[in-house]
């Protein structure tokens, strides 16, 4: 994995014609709202709650990962589909109580818009929830394509959602960058033939090995991506 200084991809010939993002843990910090949904379900069943240091590294893994965290070995004693629906019902009502763009996010999307570089979101979050979140975050109103985890038969780490998004944007996959904080994001982007960017500030757990994920670039904040993208209009 390359850092900002050593990357050979940060050259005029490799500037993106489009940028695609994961959502949770990459573009939007959603951990506290997801954690609140988990704690609601745990509370309903009289179980101990999870604190942010526990649920934050797992937030990118959605309802399944969070419920596995909270219920642990007790999960097999419950109907998972009921727990998941309880989680999603609560989360849908509180989807943006605390969720905000990560630092540098607003500046980044303004820069992409100014440079006329289309950008979009490919997430494993259910489409309706992702769309509801975007409606409550006006900073993301210029999003050109949104694909959720249930938009297609395939989901990340399958590359097909990224190919569909690049096709919708009329940009070859090889000229797209994909930014994500999870191994499945980098895997999907690499398999799609895109330049992959690791959001190292995201929801990466202590057992994760991002140095093995083979991302092309790594950023410590969304603002870092502004420098990488540069001034597209001069090429």
Whole-angstrom CA distances from 130 to 23, 32, 99, 135 are 8, 16, 12, 9
| Tokens, residue 29 | 């910090």
Torsion angle of C-alpha atoms 95, 141, 103, 90, degrees rounded to 10 = 0
CA 144, 134, 184, 199 torsion-angle sign: positive
- Tokens found for residue 185: 């994001």
Radius of gyration, alpha carbons of the chain:
18
Q: Is 181 a catalytic residue?
A: no
Q: How many CA atoms lie within 13 A of 124 on its CB side?
A: 21
Q: Which one from 22, 24, 185, 187 is the annotated catalytic residue? A: 22
With CA atoms as reference, report the closest residue to 66 among 104, 93, 29, 34: 34
Query: Which residues are known catalytic residues?
Result: 22
């Amino acid at each position: 994995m390359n850092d900002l200084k050593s990357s050979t991809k940060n050259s005029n010939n490799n500037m993106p014609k489009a940028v695609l993002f994961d959502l949770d843990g990459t573009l939007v910090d959603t951990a506290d709202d997801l954690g609140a949904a988990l704690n609601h379900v745990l509370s309903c069943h009289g179980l101990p709650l999870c604190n942010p240091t526990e649920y934050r590294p797992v937030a990118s893994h959605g309802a399944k990962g969070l419920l596995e965290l909270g219920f642990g070995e007790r999960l097999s004693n419950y109907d998972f589909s009921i727990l998941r629906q309880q989680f999603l019902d609560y989360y849908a009502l509180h989807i943006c109580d605390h969720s905000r763009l990560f630092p540098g996010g607003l500046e980044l999307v303004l820069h992409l818009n100014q440079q006329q570089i289309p950008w979009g979101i490919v997430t494993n979050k259910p489409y309706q929830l992702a769309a509801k979140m975007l409606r409550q975050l006006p900073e993301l109103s210029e999003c050109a394509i949104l694909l959720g985890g249930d938009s297609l038969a395939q989901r990340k780490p399958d590359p097909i959602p990224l190919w569909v998004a690049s096709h919708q944007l009329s940009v070859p996959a090889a000229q797209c960058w994909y930014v994500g904080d999870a191994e499945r994001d980098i895997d999907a982007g690499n398999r799609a033939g895109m330049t992959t960017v690791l959001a190292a500030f995201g929801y990466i757990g202590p057992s994760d090995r991002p140095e093995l994920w083979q991302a092309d670039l790594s950023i410590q904040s969304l603002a870092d991506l502004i420098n990488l993208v540069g001034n597209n209009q001069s090429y």
